[in-house]
Amino acid sequence: MTDIFTPAERSRIMAAVRSKDTAPERIVRRIVQHMGLRFRLHRRSLPGSPDLVFPGRSRVIFVHGCFWHAHTCGGCRIPATNRAFWVKKLTGNAERDRRAVRLLRRAGWKVLVIWECQTAPRRRDRLAERLAKFFCDQATKTPPK
């Protein structure tokens, strides 16, 4: 199957894909703000440049797009055109993600990965519960605010 766009149009479309301030990331930020937590965005000094960083709590959150980070939910269908390129690209992204998580955990950070599919409206309650659990004080098991 051939691409319905010209190479120039495809390039323009792909260049418009955002890596920061995506809709799933904004959803997670809104939930975390509602919990009364403060965070930093995209701390480049940390491995993988986590989407949300909570320095005082030694916690970071990555919000991954299902396609770009090769999630197995079904939202990651490898394009039929130029398949070898996409397989290499997406598996490379996934390996880079695993490496970043490993380095952060070795440095003493707690890491949470949230997938784009987990931010769907029907799953937001579960997402809020998961975030509250992630931020629970391990000694008292109480969520923040």
Q: Which domains does the chain have, with CATH numbers?
A: 20-135 (3.40.960.10)
Backbone torsions φ then ψ of 110, nearest 5 degrees: -90, 135
Model pTM score: 0.84
CB within 8 Å of 101: residues ≥ 6 apart: 48, 62, 111, 113
pLDDT digits (tens, 9 = 90+) for 35-93: 999 999 999 999 999 999 999 999 999 999 998 898 988 767 888 888 899 899 999 99
- Say how far apart CA 142 and CA 30 lie, in whole Å: 20
Q: What is the pLDDT of residues 27-50, one digit of tens each?
A: 999 999 999 999 999 999 999 999
Query: pLDDT per residue over 111-143, tens digit each?
Result: 999 999 999 999 999 999 999 999 986 545 555
The first and second tokens of residue 142, run together, are 């109480």
